[in-house]
Amino acid sequence: MFDKDSFLIKSFVNNSPPFVLAINSFKINTNGAVRGYPGLATCGGIFRGSMGEFIGAFFAFLEVQTTLVAEFCWLIHAMEEAQKMGLTNVWLECDYALVCVAFTSRTNVPWMLHNRWNTRLNYCGKMMFRVTHFS
């Protein structure tokens, strides 16, 4: 039998981001997940303002995909959502190093995402955009 007291998920909200963001800047934390290889895939992300406040979130079901496609899809979705919101100063933090490398080398992007990726890169070129990797 499920005992809700023995299964407790604690959530900690810190209104101070680990690095000081400039006023009117936004941080995006995202991730993708795949069950199996290839398998059912999803992606999602959360947008925070310069004071750590919640701005918005997104998620998407990607059907059957590989891990690489799922990781690039969340990045593309995050950049599309940032554009819809009119954000001009964005810090994207991700846990997939290959995605960070893709900003300097376009050869890592899955072929089926090239057009959307190039469109997003053009948008990023018109704004303050930073990508960092954490492990």
Is residue 3, in this structure, part of any structural domain at all? no
Instruction: From residue 6, give the alpha-carbon distance in Å to each of 1, 10, 13, 109.
Output: 11, 12, 22, 43
In which band, very low, low, confident or very high, does the pLDDT at 17 lie, cut at 50, 70 and 90?
very low
What single letter denotes the amino acid at residue 116? R
Please check whether residue 66 lies inside any domain of the structure: yes
Instruction: For residue 88, give both structure tokens.
Output: 């001009």
User: CATH number of the domain that 51 lies in?
Assistant: 3.30.420.10
In a domain, 83, yes or no: yes
Residue 78 structural domain = 26-133
**Mean pLDDT value across residues 35-43:** 89
How many independent structural domains does the chain possess? 1
Extended beta strands in 1-135, E state: 26-36, 39-48, 54-65, 89-94, 128-133
62-121 per-position pLDDT tens digit: 888 888 888 888 888 888 888 888 888 888 888 888 877 887 776 678 888 888 888 888
| Residue type (1 letter), 14 | N
Q: What is the pLDDT of residues 5-15, one digit of tens each?
A: 433 333 333 34
The answer on pLDDT for 33 being more than 50 is yes
